[in-house]
Structure 1
Amino acid sequence: MTENSSALTDTVRVRVLRRPDAGALADAYLRNREHLAPWEPLRSEDFFTVNGQSAGIESKLGLFIAGSDVPWVLVEGSRIVGVMNLSGIVRGPFLSAHLGYWVDKDMTGRGIGSAALEFAVQAARSELGLHRLQAATLPHNTASQRILKRAAFEEIGLAPRYLHIAGSWQDHVLFQRILF
């Protein structure tokens, strides 16, 4: 998987997460704390610090080196404006991964999420040789569902009490895209 950046829009690029991103990532999570709270697990105060992000980056890069995850950041200049991950990459007969993403509250509605998903689909197919991507959204996250549908993901079902989000076990709508 290449670590070079690729253009998503005229101003936003995507690239693999790096160790020096801890400060910019802490800033991004702090800036988007309220925006992301309904869609993410409860976070400790340490998560929003440079040290907390440094520890998270080390963990993510370890999984990247092991070949089970690909952690990307969406950047505009030196500012991180989103995150996208392929996680739980499975090889063998499954050739599948989970896709997760978020875009900065001030950048929504500009096509960045759609461009990021198309980038992930192309990278999963051509660089990783994956057959399938899966994504999950809360039933009331209609904006994310629209982005997934626009990226040719199909709804495949409802997973009851799927993830512990915002302090409780919540149902999720599952989507998949078959890549080849």
Structure 2
Amino acid sequence: MVLRLPEMGDHLVWTRLRQDGADFLRRWEPSWSSDHFSRRAFRNRVYWAQRAREDGRAIALFLVRREDRRLMGAITLDNIRRGPAQTAQVGYWIGPEFARAGYMTEALEATVRYAFSILDLSRIEAACLPENAPSRGLLERAGFRTEGIAEKYLRIDGRWRDHVLYATLRIDRRDSEEPAS
């Protein structure tokens, strides 16, 4: 798989993937705007991804399968905070035909490695709906630990919803990677 910034040439493929997976995706995501699939809205996404990366605020990447160059989903390291925090939040989505095939595990692990080694972050946070067992399992397999519940954390599919909060720390990963004495 390749992780890369979105490009305008991705618009139609992205639209098709999101439309075909709408029933699968909508229950886990904030409500889509009326112009969600428009070329203009997609152009704004591409522009935001480029500017946010340049400014060090976020890194929004598409998951592209190497063998056939198919767009599978996206992962974003957002709200990158510097200073005493050195933290960010990760969010992701994947098309239903690619779900539970290991692609998002690979993308999440690569994103976490990049965040800790290249961006020198100390902490990465994530949040998901309590009933989203696949996402919770993904985070736990990737070394994220549950930190608690945030009540009415995000508006998902038109309703304010509680979320399970997760985090992973660079210091925990260093300790587990050091050889035993």
Give the TM-score taking structure 2 as reference length.
Answer: 0.88
Cα deviation digits, residues 113-160 of structure 1 (max 9, x gap):
111110011110111111000000001101100000000100000000
Q: Which runs of 5+ in 2 are unaligned?
A: 172-181
Q: What SS is found at the alignment partner of 2:160?
A: strand
2:156 corresponds in structure 1 to 165
Seq. identity, %: 32
Q: Does 1:18 align with 2:1?
A: no
Deviates more, 1:43-52 or 1:114-123: 43-52
Q: What SS is found at the alignment partner of 1:51?
A: helix
1:150 corresponds in structure 2 to 141
Distance 1:67 1:32 in 2: 31
Q: What SS is found at the alignment partner of 1:24?
A: helix
| Aligned residue pair count | 169
Distance 1:179 1:102 in 2: 24
Match of 1:135, as an amino acid? Answer: A
Aligned partners of 1:19 and 1:58 also within 8 Å: no
* Aligned counterparts, 1:108-127, within 5 A: 108-127=99-118
Q: Does 1:54 align with 2:40?
A: no
Aligned partners of 1:14 and 1:73 also within 8 Å: yes
2:70 corresponds in structure 1 to 79
Superposition CA RMSD, Å: 1.3
Match of 1:93, as an amino acid? Answer: P
Q: Which runs of 5+ in 1 are unaligned?
A: 1-11
TM-aligned CA deviation for residue 52 of structure 1: 2.1
Q: Does 1:100 align with 2:106?
A: no
Aligned partners of 2:72 and 2:94 also within 8 Å: yes
Distance 2:102 2:13 in 1: 22
Distance 1:28 1:94 in 2: 35
TM-aligned CA deviation for residue 33 of structure 1: 1.4
Deviates more, 1:42-51 or 1:112-121: 42-51
Distance 1:88 1:39 in 2: 20
Match of 1:21, as an amino acid? Answer: D
Match of 1:56, as an amino acid? Answer: R
Aligned partners of 2:5 and 2:50 also within 8 Å: no
Q: What SS is found at the alignment partner of 2:46?
A: helix
Give the TM-score taking structure 1 as reference length.
Answer: 0.88
* Aligned counterparts, 1:1-12, within 5 A: 12=1
